[in-house]
Structure 1
Amino acid sequence: MSQKNTAYRMPLIPQLDDDHVTRLLLVLCLFMLANFVVFLPAWFLDPRALDGAAVWTKPQKFNVSLALHFATLAVLAQQLPREVRSGPVLIGFSYAAAVSLVFEWGYVSLQAARARRSHYNFDTQFEALMYALMGLGAFLLIAIAMALAVQIYRKGDKSMPGLRWGSILGLALGFVSTLIFANYMSSYGRYVSGDLDHIGTVVPFFGWSREIGDLRPAHFVSLHLMQTLPLTGYIADLKRLPGVKLVIGVAFVQLTLATLLFLQALSGKPFWPV
C-alpha cells in the first residue's frame, strides 16, 4: 500500500487513509451493513415470497453485495497517493456511485415491501421505466471500479506487484465481464431459461434456481473477480510467490468457470440440480 502520514489515518481503521473518497466509500459500506441489520426482522417475519424466496431476500443480497463492493474499493484505493485518491476523477465517480446506490437501494426496498420484482419487471410503465433507470444506476455503481483500475495502473504503488496487478485486472475484468453478462440478461428479459414465475427450488439466500438454467451464478463469479484477484495477489506478495502469474492463472480459471456456468444456463440446465 502507498505510504501515508499517520496524522491522516482513520482513527478506528489505521490501515486506511482519512481522505474524502475513502470516507465516502466506507460510509456507503456502513450504510448497506446497517440496512442489512434493520431489514433482518422483516426478512425473517414477513411470510410473503417472490420467485421462490422471501420478499426481503433481494434487498438483503443487495445490502451485502454492495457493502463488500464499497469496502473493496476503499481498501484497494489505498495504493494511490492521497492527492490522486482525492482528485476530481475518483471524487466524481464516487459521488456518481453514491447517488446510484441511494436510488437503487430505495427502489429495491420499495418493491420488496410491495412484494414486486425490482428487476426484469415490465408489468407497468412505471416499473419498466424504473428498471431501465436501474440499468444506468448499476453501470455507475461499477464504473468506479474501472476508474480505480486505470488510476492504479497509472499512479499506484508498485512495491507489491501481485496486489497491484490483482487490483488492476480484478477491477477491470470484473467490470467488463459483469457488463457482458448483465447486458445479456437485460436484453434476454429474464435471468432464467424458463418462466420467472416457476423457477422451482432455489439455493438459500442466493435464490438461484436448482431446477432450470439460471444466468446469475455466472454473473456472481465474474463480478467477484474484484475481490479474488487482489486477494490472490496480496497473499502471493506476502508469501513471496510469483504474484502476477498467480493472478493471471486465477483470472483465467474464474473467467472460464463463469463462461461454463453461462453456457450451462443457456442450455437450460441448473448449475446445482435438485
Structure 2
Amino acid sequence: MTHTIRALPASWHRPLLLMSLLMAGLALVAAAGLAVDDRMLLTESVWAKPLKFAVSFTIFGLTLAALIPRLTRFRRTLWWLGTVFAATGVVDVGFIALQAARGTFSHFNTDSDPINAIGQQIFSSGVIGLFGATIVIAVLILLQRVGDAALTRALRAGLLLVTAGMAVAFGIAGGGGSRTVPDANGRPVTLSGAHGVGVPDGGGMPVTNWSTTGGDLRVPHFVGLHAIQVLVLFVLLLGFLAGRVLWLRDERVRVRLTGVAVLGCSGVFAITTWQAVRGQSLVDPDGLTLLAVAALVAVCAVWAVGTVVAARRRSALTRSGDRSDAPAPAWPAPGGG
C-alpha cells in the first residue's frame, strides 16, 4: 500500500488539467442540451456525441494530468506532449460541440459549407495529433518505472491499449462508404464513413448508441481508451487492501494480480474488436464469441486463484516460521518467590 500511495501525483500537468475542467463544463452543457433541445441526428440527440466525448476526454485528461508529473525521465518532452494533447483535444471536441449547436454532423461530414470544410481539415489533423502524442507518451513510459511494479505494469499496458483503441478509430473513419442523410435542420448531408459494420448508423443501445443489429467499432474504441482507468483503479484497490490483507503486502503478488487484470482488459478489447469486424453486435454474440469469452474468463480465473492460493500459503509459512523462531518464555525458577 505504501508504494502505491507514493505513486500518486504530488502535482498536476496544468494544461491537461485545464482541458479536463473545460471538458467537464462541456459535459454539463451537453447534458442540459439533452434535456431542453429536441433536435435529432440519426435518432440520437445532437448533444449526445458532445456529451460522450466530453466525459471521455475529462477522464483520460485527468489520468494523463496526474501521471505525467510523476515521471522521472523525459520530463520536458512529456510535458510538451501533454500540452499538445490538451490543446488538440480542446480544438477537436470544441468542433464536435460547434457542429452539435449547428444541428449537423461532426464526423464523416463532407458538406462544402465553409465552417464544416475548415473544421474538417482541423478535425482530421487533430485526430492524427492526438494519436501521435499518445503513441510517443506510451513509448516513453515503457522506458521507465512509475511508482511500484504493479502500477508501472498497469500504466504501460493501459497506454498500449489506449493506443490500440485510438487505432480502431482509423477503421471507423475509413469504413461505411458514402451516403446522404438529413441533419437536424432537414438539410441533406453526405457522410463518408460509418461506425457500423454491415449495418447503417442510427439507432442502438441507450446512452452509448452502439448498434444492436450489427458490428460497431465504437465498442473496442471505448474499451481501449478507458482500460487504463480500470487498471489504475485496480492497482490502487490492491494497495488499499494490502493494509488489511497480509499476503497482498508482497509486491510480487500485486504484480501478478495486475497481470490478470491486464490480460482481462486486453482480452475484452480483442474479443470486441473481433466481434465488430465480423459485423456482430455486442449484445448478440455467436457461439465462437461466447467460447472466446469463456476461455478468457477461465484463464484469468485460474491465474488469479493460483496466485492467491500460493500467496496465502507463503504468508502462512512465514507466520509459522516467525512463531517457531520466537524465544522460549522466561519461566520462573523453581522455588522462586
Distance 2:42 2:198 in 1: 12
Letter in 2 for 1:228: V
1:17 to 2:10 alignment: yes
Farther off after superposition, 233-242 or 215-224: 233-242
Instruction: Show structure 2 runs of 5+ residues with no match.
Output: 176-192, 243-247, 285-337
* Residues 167-178 of structure 1: pairs in structure 2 closer than 5 A: 167-175=155-163, 177-178=164-165
Shift of 1:129: 6.2
1:186 to 2:186 alignment: no
Letter in 2 for 1:264: Q
Match of 2:109 among 121, 128, 145: 121
Task: Provide the aligned length of Structure 1 versus Structure 2.
Answer: 254
Q: Which is higher, the Rg of structure 1 or of structure 2? A: 2
Shift of 1:125: 7.3
Match of 1:212 among 211, 214, 226: 214
* Residues 62-81 of structure 1: pairs in structure 2 closer than 5 A: 62-81=53-72
Distance 1:249 1:161 in 2: 14
| CA distance 1:115–1:195, change in 2 (3 Å) | farther
Distance 1:235 1:146 in 2: 27
Letter in 2 for 1:166: A
Q: Compute the RMSD of aligned alpha carbons.
A: 2.8
Structure 2 SS opposite 1:91: helix
* Residues 13-92 of structure 1: pairs in structure 2 closer than 5 A: 16-18=9-11, 22-81=13-72, 84=73, 87-92=75-80
| CA distance 1:244–1:261, change in 2 (3 Å) | same
Retained in 1: the 8 A contact 2:85–2:129? Answer: yes
Farther off after superposition, 206-215 or 126-135: 126-135
Give aligned-pair identity as a percent. Answer: 28
Match of 1:94 among 82, 93, 108: 82
Retained in 1: the 8 A contact 2:9–2:67? Answer: no
| Residues 39-94 of structure 1, C-alpha deviations (whole Å, 9 max, x = no match) | 3322211111112211101001111000001111122234324xx58x42022112
| Residues 102-135 of structure 1, C-alpha deviations (whole Å, 9 max, x = no match) | 2112210111112211112224376466445423
Distance 1:227 1:18 in 2: 19
Match of 2:127 among 130, 138, 152: 138
Retained in 2: the 8 A contact 1:165–1:230? Answer: no
| CA distance 1:125–1:115, change in 2 (3 Å) | closer
* Residues 240-255 of structure 1: pairs in structure 2 closer than 5 A: 240=248, 242-255=253-266
Distance 2:128 2:14 in 1: 22
Retained in 2: the 8 A contact 1:2–1:157? Answer: no
| CA distance 1:203–1:128, change in 2 (3 Å) | farther
| CA distance 1:30–1:62, change in 2 (3 Å) | same
Distance 2:172 2:230 in 1: 24
Instruction: Show structure 1 runs of 5+ residues with no match.
Output: 5-14
TM-score by length of 1: 0.80
| CA distance 1:152–1:263, change in 2 (3 Å) | closer
Farther off after superposition, 225-234 or 140-149: 140-149
Distance 1:181 1:157 in 2: 27
| CA distance 1:23–1:146, change in 2 (3 Å) | same
| CA distance 1:18–1:163, change in 2 (3 Å) | closer
